[in-house]
Amino acid sequence: MAQRSVLIVDDDISVARVLVRVFEKAGFSAQAAHDGEQALERLHAARYDAMICDIQMPRMDGRQLCQQLVTQGPYFPSCVVIATSRTELAERTWLAEYPRVTLVEKPIAPRRLVQLLTRRLESEARAADSGEAQVA
């Protein structure tokens, strides 16, 4: 299997660095972006299998980023994980509109995120192999 790639979008630089590191150790290629606009630039420049995204960020937040990706592209990664805190539970309503989004509650566990993405991407690869997945 080709190396899987993940884009980590978080304005907290230590969280971003931790996640890049654990995903690299798990065999992913991982890059970080620190707000929605930077994430857009990266998504325009390369194709990512997965994206992990914070909600509250300067310039362009997670919600705006998702809207932008759906309405103007470049594309919506096939596996997206949004990290919310308990106080942002209201966010669940708008998130329901996005089919391939998984919510995780903060504080995040890097180990859990690696397991989650690995499993999601594996099951998607299996689905694609058996011809069930339709590329949009």
Partner 1 sequence: MSESHAEPLIRSLPGSCHALLQDLARALQAPLAIRDRDGRVVFATAGRATSERVAVTAPIRNEESVLGELVAYGEAARLQPLVTSLAAELGPRLAQERVLDAMTDRLAQAYDEINLLYRFGRVLRPDESFPASAEKLLSETAELLERRLLVFCQADSSITAAGAELEMTPDLRWLTGSRSALDGVHADFSRQLREAGPRGANRFGGRIVSPDGPIDYVVAPVRARDQVIGYVGAFRAVTDEPFETGELRLLECLAQELSNTATTRDLLRELREMLFSTVRGLVAAIDAKDEYTRGHSERVFHVSVKIGEALGLSHEELQILSWAALLHDVGKIAIQRSILNKPARLTDDEYRTIQSHPVRGCKVLEPIPQLRNVLPTIRHHHERYDGRGYPDGLAGEAIPRLARIIAVADAYDAITSTRAYREARTTEYAREQIETGAGSQFDPEVARVFLELMRTGQLDQPGDATAARPAA
Contact footprint for partner 1 (CB under 8 A): 14-15, 17-18, 20-22, 24, 30, 107-112, 115
53 DSSP β-pair partners = 9, 82
* Tokens 């190396």 -> residue: 3
**CB contact at 8 A, 92 and 83:** no
Whichever of 60 and 104 has its CB closer to partner 1, that residue is 104
Closest distance of CB 64 from partner 1, Å: 26
Q: Which of 59, 52, 62 is nearest to 92 (CA)?
A: 62
Closest distance of CB 92 from partner 1, Å: 17
Whichever of 25 and 70 has its CB closer to partner 1, that residue is 25
Whichever of 54 and 76 has its CB closer to partner 1, that residue is 54
**HSE value, Cβ hemisphere, 13 Å, CA-based, for 29:** 8
Whichever of 15 and 66 has its CB closer to partner 1, that residue is 15
Closest distance of CB 98 from partner 1, Å: 24
Cα–Cα distances in angstroms (integers) from residue 40 to residues 12, 46, 127, in the given order? 18, 10, 28
Closest distance of CB 25 from partner 1, Å: 8
CA dihedral for 65, 70, 71, 73, sign (positive or negative): positive
